[in-house]
Structure 1
Amino acid sequence: MKHLETSYRAHDGQELYLQAWMPATPKAALLLVHGLGEHSSRYESLVQSIVEIGMAVFTFDGRGHGKSAQGGPTAYFESYEDYLKDIDALFGKVKSYVPGVPAFLFGHSMGGGLVAAYVLKYRPEAKGVILSSAAIKEAEGTSPLLIAGAKWISKLFPKMKVLKLDPSRISRIPEEVQKYLQDERVYSKPVPARTGYELLKMTTYIQEHAGEFQLPVLLIHGTEDLLTNPKGSQILAEKAASSDKTLRLFEGGYHELLNDLDQEEVLDVICKWIQDRI
């Protein structure tokens, strides 16, 4: 397995850190989009499993995240539309770098929401989409007043820290929580107002257009995920126009299913789903 690292200058001059893992003869390719606050190097088990079945894996540290954030991660970005442009450009590079093989998209958490929005807005040619704990619906009980206030705070004080997520809810394995908290490239402070509002806009768009989703899709979510709402995955699974759609809910699962108690089963579900479509 060959590991490649490089950078990409986005449409607005933002420089993004890219990396890829290549088997000797790729029979498929996948673009992986990480979640809020984290970075692309946190997917070692998934990368290893996918490369073992003959797939090339490409990924990047998003705007304000990981090695793409100068001076340390902030989780800040101006617009989720910019993020979608990054995904579109990089998915194009994936297909040109490994031509003539099926290309897949994978997104976790915020990355899952971004991938879903990308599919709806850009209609890419992809063999399939895997959405892990995708950010598709706001938390239950979110007040309309809070949503309205978020818009104004986002405009007036875009970098104000407004929402702290509970890192103890990423996994039922204490060691995984500690690894997350001790990772210098993970941003675990309160989320900037602009980032939060842009993600709210993204989830609203996905819910409104879910019936237009046509690609084969696998949605996985833990029933005890308090960081992204499992009902979002259920909404997309119910409304998607795709004739090939699968929803797997893992009973008791927390947010990072790939780092939780059911991780081996989750990896098996993902790999078998992909293999059936190559």
Structure 2
Amino acid sequence: MPGEEETPQPPPNFWGHAPEDEYYASQGVTNTKTYFDTPHGKIFTQSFLPLHGKVKASVYMSHGYGSDTGWLFQKICINYATWGYAVFAADLLGHGRSDGLRCYLVDLEKVAAASLHCFSHVRESEPYKDLPAFLFGESMGGAATMLMYFQSKPDLWTGLIFSAPLFVMPEPMKPSRVRLFVYGLLFGIADTWASMPDNKMVGKAIKDPEKLKIIASNPRRYTGKPRVGTMRELARVCQYIQDNFSRVTAPFLTAHGTADGVTCPTSSQLLYEKASSEDKTLKLYEGMYHSLIQGEPDENANRVLGDMREWIDARVAKYGKK
């Protein structure tokens, strides 16, 4: 109506209105987007390749709950690409531009299998089949990544990298057993209901207030309450992973903030203690929140990235020689 001010439209990308090709080139990477058909549904995928220099290895990344690969998560992808790594990332089923009801994760094994179907296809193709290859998982993507590892052929992956992985749920995040029991009496009818308490997860994940604003502006971010079936499945998967830590034999790095209010630092500590891997590294960052790279002040985020770069470069040098 006359006299009314129009609400400004948010920028199409976290960096603003610059064209994508221009932005990626300024970061020293190339980006491609595509959809990949899997037996469990179609998933949206992206690749980030270094513009210059030889590719040292490939890295396959999974984002956290409610997120996707197309907003701030890609800053992680871009960093790894600038270090000389070919990075491939996929929106998990039920997230971003992939198939599925938003954040309905009633079978996380299938969610993991869909991404693994894409990742293993790329990993075993030219020019990557003879290069080292790493799985990377952040938050709930860490749980999905661990399931991918369990589902993979032996020795498919050179190593694993976890950023604040979800293997143990903090007490405030655990779904009420009474609530799940009552919903369970409805024989699955309530599984898709977005009616579980969310406990203000975003506020517990992001320390930097300016980055919180950027993350909150993601048009594909899920903002509803957790679904009944999702919370039941996450509780089940966390227990399953804890029971199978000893099956982990690959080299790994796991990183956690000690002030993480979304996933327990115990997740990383138990993995480090119980995994059978001979080459394993635990990094605990005092006072840092859940989102170590996307949500911390730059000084903290760069510290985490520096540790990750040092770790992966050393493993490529150690295990990458044929």
- On whether the aligned pair clears a TM of 0.5, the verdict is yes
Residues 9, 163 of structure 1: CA spacing in aligned structure 2 closer, same or farther, 3 A cutoff? Answer: farther
> Do structure 1's residue 164 and structure 2's residue 194 form an aligned pair?
no
1:2 to 4, 21, 30: 30
1:273 to 287, 311, 320: 311
Q: Which has the larger displacement, 94-103 or 41-50?
A: 41-50
- Aligned partner of 1:90 in structure 2 is 118
1:139 to 167, 170, 173: 170
Shift of 1:69: 4.8
1:223 to 258, 265, 270: 258
Residues 244, 147 of structure 1: CA spacing in aligned structure 2 closer, same or farther, 3 A cutoff? Answer: farther
Residues 17, 52 of structure 1: CA spacing in aligned structure 2 closer, same or farther, 3 A cutoff? Answer: same
Residues 146, 177 of structure 1: CA spacing in aligned structure 2 closer, same or farther, 3 A cutoff? Answer: farther
What is the rounded CA distance, in whole Å, between the counterparts of 2:210 and 2:99 in structure 1?
26
1:257 to 292, 295, 301: 292
Scaled by the length of structure 1, the TM-score of the pair is 0.92
Residues 156, 208 of structure 1: CA spacing in aligned structure 2 closer, same or farther, 3 A cutoff? Answer: same
Q: Which runs of 5+ in 2 are unaligned?
A: 1-28, 317-322
Aligned ranges for residues 8-23 of structure 1 at < 5 Å? 8-12=36-40, 14-23=41-50
Contact 2:43 2:115 in 1 (8 A): no
1:99 counterpart letter in structure 2:
K
Q: Which has the larger displacement, 264-273 or 116-125?
A: 116-125
2:89 to 59, 73, 86: 59
Residues 100, 134 of structure 1: CA spacing in aligned structure 2 closer, same or farther, 3 A cutoff? Answer: same
* CA distances 1:68-108 after superposition (whole Å, capped 9, x unpaired): 257xx721133111112113212212211522110000000
Aligned ranges for residues 74-153 of structure 1 at < 5 Å? 74-95=102-123, 96-97=125-126, 98-124=128-154, 125-140=156-171, 142=174, 145-146=177-178, 149=181, 152=184
CA radius of gyration, larger in: 2
SS of corresponding position for 1:68: coil
* CA distances 1:105-163 after superposition (whole Å, capped 9, x unpaired): 00000000111222234355111100111010122375883486288278231111213
- Aligned partner of 1:40 in structure 2 is 69
Shift of 1:194: 1.3
1:252 counterpart letter in structure 2:
G
Residues 221, 146 of structure 1: CA spacing in aligned structure 2 closer, same or farther, 3 A cutoff? Answer: farther
Q: Name the structure where helix makes up a greater proportion of residues.
A: 1
1:188 to 202, 206, 223: 223
Scaled by the length of structure 2, the TM-score of the pair is 0.80
Residues 9, 165 of structure 1: CA spacing in aligned structure 2 closer, same or farther, 3 A cutoff? Answer: farther
Higher relative contact order (CA 8 A, sep 6+): 1
1:160 counterpart letter in structure 2:
W
